[in-house]
Structure 1
Amino acid sequence: MPDPRFFEALGPLSLSRLAELTGARIVSGPGDLMIDEAAPLNRADSRGIAFIADKKFLAELKATGAGACFLPEALAGETPEGCIALVVGRPQAAWAIASGALHRPIRQPAGSELIDPSAILEQGVTLAPGAVIGPGVRIGAETSIGAGAVIGPGVSIGRRCRIGPRAVVGFALLGDGVALHAGAVIGEAGFGATPGPDGIIDIPQLGRVILQDNVTIGANSCVDRGAWDDTVVGENTKVDNLVHIAHNTRVGRNCVMAAYVGISGSVTIGDGATFAGRAGVADHVNIGAGSIVGAAAGVMRDVPPGEFWSGYPAKPVREWLKESAWLARAARRKG
């Protein structure tokens, strides 16, 4: 279930109601089954609804504990015992619609006080003019909140943190000694979209962001909350200005990212990795511990631990330098 500090449960809803909302057809099973949550195949239980759009995930479908699943006609007979099939043309879009009907992000109440009465501020917390502290927020001792910063409902911030002016924090848990520079945005929705009945629709992002102790996030950088699982930045990692870390990414301890780095969704980064300016990483890639990604490199596949990769597409730096030198020589040849 999504964290109740950040998401309001709107269910349960009956399976027949979800079928009506999404245009799905219940293949077998009771339409009065009550559903509490939308979840991935590997996380859903008997009160949850999942989806599958491609047969390459059949093994996950066979192992799911979901009570129901949106799927295409071709996979209607593949659900395990106890999982009711809902046939629909666009399973991911149907799941997105169901997610929106079952879960709603908790937002700052309109017209509320700048500092919500339910917020808990430990001794020595300082708030600059215009700071907004939402309901259920917890802020540790000696933390400072900059002018115009917004701390959303349910957020927990540790001790001795520094939240810069105009920073925005939501759907997040911050450890001790975390520093967010001006304009940083933590916990906004990651990029998820899919074709729906009437055009492209957003896929609800139901996870959180966890920044561990002594993490620094630079000015105007963004760390997206997870689509379901958490986005995590490990202890003592330092992120420069204008960096983007997408949903579900897990960054290890003592990593360094220079300006304009872009990390796509569901990337796993080992401890001590270094990213030079403008480096980019494709989704679902593993970056090994202690590795280095060179400036403006585009990483499309896994980087082994301790290696230095550069170029586009990125490859071991010696290989890239050899190819670059050969290309330069070839370009200079006459005829």
Structure 2
Amino acid sequence: MIDPRFYRLLGPKTLAELAQVVRAELPGGFDPNLALRSCAPLDQATPSDLAFCQGPAKGQSLIETKAGACLVRAEHAALLPAGVAPLIVKEPRAVFAAAAAALVARRDFDPTAPAVPASVKLEANVIIGRGVVIGEDVEIGQGTTIGPNSVIGPGVAIGRNCRIGANVTIYCALIGDRVTISSGSVIGEVGFGVAPTANGPVDVPQLGRAILQDDVSVGSLCAVDRGAFGDTVLGIGCKIDNFTQIAHNCQLGLGVVIAAFGGISGSCEIGDNVMMGGRVGLGDHIQVGERVVIAAGSGVLESVPAGEAWGGYPAKPLRQWLRESVALKRLVNPKPQASPKGGESL
């Protein structure tokens, strides 16, 4: 669901208007004046939403959605539920970018407003550094410090006793109590959603939120992207080191620790009390169970069961990786064989 604290609904648009935007034929048998107010993923869409579908989900023969209309390829149009208007296009995900831009826009700064607008709610003992710019309807809790030249976007809520460093940017985010975000980090900016087209890749809108729960700390020069539709969540007590990237829709449990230069791809789920060494990278849609330990420099390309220790590239159970590393070393550099005279063979 689009959060009105961070986004403006530009509609409603009629089915006929959206068909024109996406250059699709108006489907027969559907009301051209059907009002579509927003956009949503298939599984969350309501009759007033536009959705898109690349094809049926794995293991399903039909497309399940309650959307009012859906961008879909011609070969999949008949798989939609009877009440969903098909807008037939060649590249649904890419075309969705144009359709979403006609329905939703992120709230931005009013260039005529003061640096701290009257709609901002500040509790007691909030310290705001020089050069800070704050958007409309921001809320900042008691005892929080905002460092110089930071930017707090419209609608953002920051809890009590937080420390926001210098040159931090926060958009589309809800920040809990006692959160630390060190200098130069960016929270809640657009994630890396790209759809290929015949004319080159296009950016797909990111319309979700970033949520940092209580006692989270984020180091310097990190990026935590907002969700594509849902939320990117850092659970209570997560500790994120410098130069770490957490992509859209990631869900981190309680007490997750990620050392410097971590790279977490989109839609990963990381369980409670996971520890990752420096330069660990996760591929997209990977699940990491609770209490997992991942060695520094590992590249994780498959889900990791709870309680295990993994390492290597591609990452695998740590003991297996170490045995394979030793075996490979012996294969490449075998020990010299002694000659019959007691010397070493060449």
Normalising by the smaller structure, the TM-score range is over 0.9
The residue type equivalent to 1:12 in the other structure is P
Q: Indicate whether 1:269 and 2:270 are aligned.
A: yes
The residue type equivalent to 1:200 in the other structure is P
Pairwise CA distance, 1:254? 0.7
Q: Indicate whether 1:147 and 2:148 are aligned.
A: yes
Pairwise CA distance, 1:86? 1.1
> What is aligned with 2:139?
138
Q: TM-score, normalised by structure 2?
A: 0.94
3-state SS of paired residue (1:69):
strand
> What is aligned with 2:24?
24
> What is aligned with 2:76?
75
Pairwise CA distance, 1:25? 2.3
3-state SS of paired residue (2:18):
helix
Work out whether residues 268 and 284 of structure 2, in 8 Å CA contact, stay in contact via their aligned partners in 1: yes
Alignment of 1:54-65 (within 5 A): 54-56=55-57, 59=60, 62-65=63-66
Alignment of 1:21-170 (within 5 A): 21-28=21-28, 29-56=30-57, 59=60, 62-170=63-171
Where structure 1 has 5 or more consecutive residues not aligned to the other structure, the ranges are none
Alignment of 1:219-298 (within 5 A): 219-298=220-299
Work out whether residues 64 and 80 of structure 2, in 8 Å CA contact, stay in contact via their aligned partners in 1: no
3-state SS of paired residue (2:310):
strand
> What is aligned with 2:342?
none
The residue type equivalent to 1:74 in the other structure is E
Work out whether residues 309 and 317 of structure 2, in 8 Å CA contact, stay in contact via their aligned partners in 1: yes
Q: TM-score, normalised by structure 1?
A: 0.97
Mapped partners of 2:62, 2:176: distance in 1: 36
3-state SS of paired residue (1:199):
coil
- Deviations along 1:4-48, one digit per CA (max 9) or x if unpaired, are 010000010011111111112233322221111111100101011
Work out whether residues 76 and 87 of structure 1, in 8 Å CA contact, stay in contact via their aligned partners in 2: yes
Mapped partners of 2:229, 2:294: distance in 1: 28
3-state SS of paired residue (1:130):
coil
Deviates more, 1:128-137 or 1:220-229: 128-137
The residue type equivalent to 1:273 in the other structure is V
The residue type equivalent to 1:286 in the other structure is Q
- Deviations along 1:51-86, one digit per CA (max 9) or x if unpaired, are 111334584963311111111111121111211111
- Deviations along 1:67-117, one digit per CA (max 9) or x if unpaired, are 111111111211112111111111111212111110000011114211111
Work out whether residues 41 and 60 of structure 1, in 8 Å CA contact, stay in contact via their aligned partners in 2: no
The residue type equivalent to 1:3 in the other structure is D
- Deviations along 1:198-219, one digit per CA (max 9) or x if unpaired, are 4322111000000000100000
Alpha carbons of 1:61 and 1:39: their partners in 2 closer, same or farther (altered >3 Å)? Answer: farther
Mapped partners of 2:292, 2:331: distance in 1: 31
3-state SS of paired residue (1:189):
coil
The residue type equivalent to 1:92 in the other structure is R
Alignment of 1:6-21 (within 5 A): 6-21=6-21
Work out whether residues 220 and 242 of structure 1, in 8 Å CA contact, stay in contact via their aligned partners in 2: yes
Q: Indicate whether 1:186 and 2:187 are aligned.
A: yes
Where structure 2 has 5 or more consecutive residues not aligned to the other structure, the ranges are 337-345
Deviates more, 1:51-60 or 1:238-247: 51-60
Work out whether residues 22 and 99 of structure 2, in 8 Å CA contact, stay in contact via their aligned partners in 1: yes
Pairwise CA distance, 1:197? 6.7
Mapped partners of 2:221, 2:299: distance in 1: 22
Work out whether residues 70 and 95 of structure 1, in 8 Å CA contact, stay in contact via their aligned partners in 2: yes
Mapped partners of 1:197, 1:328: distance in 2: 46
The residue type equivalent to 2:279 in the other structure is R
Work out whether residues 27 and 76 of structure 1, in 8 Å CA contact, stay in contact via their aligned partners in 2: no
Work out whether residues 279 and 296 of structure 2, in 8 Å CA contact, stay in contact via their aligned partners in 1: yes
The residue type equivalent to 1:19 in the other structure is A
Deviates more, 1:217-226 or 1:28-37: 28-37
> How many residues are treated as equivalent by the alignment?
335
Work out whether residues 42 and 60 of structure 1, in 8 Å CA contact, stay in contact via their aligned partners in 2: no
Tell which structure's C-alpha radius of gyration is larger.
2
Pairwise CA distance, 1:133? 1.4
> What is aligned with 1:311?
312
